[in-house]
Structure 1
Amino acid sequence: MSVQEDILSAPHTSEIVAPALSSRHDRVRGYLERLAGAVPQVLLLEGGTAREREALSLWWATRLNCPEESAPCLSCAVCAQFAARNNRDMFYLDGSEGSIKIDDVRAVRAVLGEPPRGRYRVVVLAEAQALGIEAANALLKSLEEPRPGTSFVLLAPQRERLLPTLVSRSWVLTLAWPDGDSAPAPIAEWADALHEFVQSGHGWFARTGTKSSLDHGTGLQLVAYLQRQLADALTGRASTSFSRMLASRLDDAALRKLDEALAECQDSLIYNVNPALVLDWLATRLYAWARTSRRA
C-alpha cells in the first residue's frame, strides 16, 4: 500500500474534523472563510471544547491547502494529509500531552526561513497554555517578523491563559461554548458531587479516595466544565444548579480566586499531578470560599 493509500484508508477526513462542522460553529467557520483571503500570521481559537478547537484548527489547515475549488473538499489526498497531521507543512505541538518545551518550538523555528512546500505551512499549538516561559518567548521571537506562507494557530480554553504579548499578536475567534446542561454523564456526576460537597461538606473525599476513580482525562474535562460554569456565573447566564450556586454563594473576589484556582488545576493536571489530589485541593478551597464570601 502506498503512503497516499495508507492516508486515505485512515479515518475519513470529515470524521476527524466533524466537531468543526457542527452548526454551533457556523459563525466561526464563516469568519475563517473570510480570513482565508488574507491569512493572519497568528490565529487564536478559544472557547468550545479541546476537541472542537483541535478540529477547527485542522479544518483551517485543509481550507488553506486544499487544491479544489470548493476548498476544503475533505476528500482529496491533501485534505487527508493535513487532517491526519501527516504533511511536511503541518506542525502540531500538543500541550495536552504535557508542557510545550522550548526544543519543540526551536524545531519549528528551524524551518520557518524556508518557504512552505505547498500553499501554506500551518503550525498548531494545541492547549497553548502549556507553553513554558522559555518556549513562549522563543515563539514570540518567531512572530516578531512576518513569515509569508505560514499560519500559526494557538488553541486555548481562554485567551487569558496565554501571555498578553501572544494574544496581542493574534486574530482571536471565540468558539461557541458548550451548553451548560450537556456535560457527559461522568462529568455531570463529578460536578454534582462537588456541588453537594460545597453545600454540605460531605461525600467528596469518599468519592476521590476510591482507587483510580478519577483519571487525568476526566479531571481535565471536569475543570473545563467548571470553567464554563464560572463564565456563566460571571456573565449572568447561570443556567445550571452549579453555576447558580456560584453566582449566589461567591462574591466577586471569591469568583476571581476560583478562576485562578481552576487555571492552577488545569496546569497541574497537564503536568500529571495526581488528579484526586488536584480536585481535593480545589474542593476544599471552594468549600471555604462559599462560607467566607460576603454573599454566603
Structure 2
Amino acid sequence: MSSHTSVDDTAARPSLELEHIMAPALASRHARVRGFLHRLAANPPQVLLMEGGTVEERAAMSFYWAALLNCTLNESEGPRPCLACSACAQMIACRHRDMFFLDGREESIKIDDVRAVRGVLGEPPRDNGQRMVILCEAQSLGIEAANALLKSLEEPRPGTSFVLLAPQRERLLPTLVSRSWVLTLAWPESHGAEASADPLEAQAAEWGDALAEFARTGTGWFQRTASKSSLDNGVAQRVVVYCQRELVAAITGNVHSELARLFAGVDSLVHRRVDEVLAECQESLVYNVNPAIVMDWLATRVALLCSARR
C-alpha cells in the first residue's frame, strides 16, 4: 500500500531512481503497447490486464499507465506522461494518495489487503486524476482475496482504474479475465541456444511449426493431436502461449519462426481474430476441456482465418 511522501514539483526531468524504474517500460520493443495505452487513455477501461513481458516490464508499464492518467503537464507543453511532475513521480514511487499497489511478487496478496482498498472505493479520488489500484503479479491472489476483488469489479467505480499484472491471462481466474481489457506486452525474448536448450520451449516451437504447416497445406496436424502420448493440458497451454508470443512477434516485425511468418502474411483484422481464438483456447484449457479438441479447434480456426486473408 502507498505512503504519501511529497515529491519536488519543480523537477525538470525524472530522477535517476525513477528513470531506472521506468526503463523497462520505455524500451523500444514496447512502443506498440505504449501506443495502445495512449489511445485507451481517452476512455480508460475500469480493469486493464497486462500480460507478457517480464515481471519488471509489467510493473513499469503499470506505472507508465498510472502516470499517463494522472500527469499534470498540459498537452501543449509536451508529451504525456512527462514522468517528472509531482503526480507522475508520486505514482511511479507509489507515494501518491490515489495509488494503491498490492505487491504479490514475494508473497500472496491477502484478503485484508483487498478489503483495505475496497474501504476507500466508494469515495471519489482525492486528486483530479484517476485512483489507481495495481495488483502486481495478481496470480498470487488467494481465492478469498480474488473473490473479494471480483465484488469490487462487478460495480462501476468512476474515477478508479484497476490494473492486473500476470505472466499469462490463464494464470488468473477466468472471471477476472472476463472483466478485463487484456493488453499483451512483448513476450520475453529467447535466443538461439537458450531456447533450444529448453525442451519445453523446443516442444512448443515444434507444435508451432506444425500449426503453420497445417494452415498452409491442411496436413499433419490431426495425426499429432490423435497421439495421446504427445498432448496433455500442460503441453496445450504452452502451445497457446507460444502462439501468442509469435503473434506479437509478427505484429512487431520480429519474424523468426514459421508461425510468425504465417501471421506476418495477414492483416491486422486477422491478428485480432487470432488473438481472440487464443484467448478462448486458454479459457477452455483452464476449464479442463479435452486438450486435443482445443488444439484441433485452434488449428482449424487459424487455418481458416489465415487462408481467407492472405
Same fold (TM over 0.5): yes
- TM-score norm. by structure 2 comes to 0.61
Q: Residue 36 in 1 paired to residue 41 in 2?
A: yes
Aligned length: 211
Secondary structure, aligned partner of 1:19:
coil
Q: Partner amino acid for 1:126? A: C
**Distance (whole Å) between structure 1 residues aligned to residue 207 and residue 137 of structure 2:** 23
CA distance in 1 between partners of 2:152 and 2:91 (Å): 22
Superposed displacement of residue 48, structure 1: 0.8
| 2: CA distance, partners of 1:37 / 1:237 | 41
Following superposition, the deviation at residue 233 of structure 1 comes to 5.0
Structure 1 residue matching 2:7: 3-state secondary structure: helix
1:235 maps to amino acid: G
Which residue identity lines up with residue 67 of structure 1 in the other structure? T
* Alignment CA distance shift 1:258-1:169 (3 Å): closer
Aligned to 1:77: 86
Q: CA deviation at 1:23?
A: 1.3
Structure 1: any 5+ residue segments left out of the alignment?
196-225, 239-249, 260-296
Q: Which residue of 1 aligns with 2:112?
A: 103
Q: Shift of residue 11 of structure 1?
A: 3.8
Unaligned runs of 5+ in 2: 212-228, 239-310
Superposition deviation, residue 170 in structure 1: 0.2
* Aligned pair partner of 1:50 in 52, 55, 67: 55
Match of 1:87 in 2: 96
**How far does the alpha carbon of each residue in 1:45-73 deviate from its partner, in whole angstroms, 9 at most, with x for none?**
00111110000000000000001122200
Amino acid at match of 1:81: Q
Say yes or no: does 1:180 pair with 2:190: yes
Q: C-alpha separation between the residues in 2 aligned to 1:86 and 1:182?
A: 41
Q: Residue deviations 1:182-238, cap 9 Å, x none?
A: 89xxxx59x95x76xxxxxxxxxxxxxxxxxxxxxxxxxxxxxx6x66654553399
1:256 paired residue number: 235
Indicate if the aligned counterparts of 2:25 and 2:57 stay in contact, CA closer than 8 A: yes
Q: Is the 8 A contact 2:71 2:87 kept in 1?
A: yes
CA distance in 1, matches of 2:142, 2:39: 32
* Match 2:208 to one of 235, 239, 246: 235
The RMSD of aligned alpha carbons is: 3.1
CA distance in 2, matches of 1:130, 1:140: 15
Residue in structure 2 matched with residue 165 of structure 1 by the alignment? 175
**For the structure 1 residues 122 and 252, does the alpha-carbon distance in structure 2 shift closer, same or farther, using more than 3 Å as the test?**
same
Q: Look up the SS of the partner of 1:179 in the other structure.
A: coil
- Counterpart mapping for 1:1-296 below 5 A: 3-5=6-8, 11-68=16-73, 69=75, 70-118=79-127, 119-181=129-191, 192=197, 232-236=205-209, 251-253=230-232, 255-256=234-235
One-letter amino acid of the structure 1 residue matched with residue 183 of structure 2: L
Judged with a 3 Å threshold, the aligned counterparts in structure 2 of structure 1 residues 233 and 48 are, in CA distance, closer, same or farther, namely farther
Counterpart code for 1:26: A
Q: Deviations over 1:99-153 (max 9, x none)?
A: 1111010010000011111210011101110011000000000011110010000
User: Identity over the aligned pairs, expressed in percent?
Assistant: 60
- Preserved contact between residue 45 and residue 161 of structure 2 (Cα < 8 Å): yes
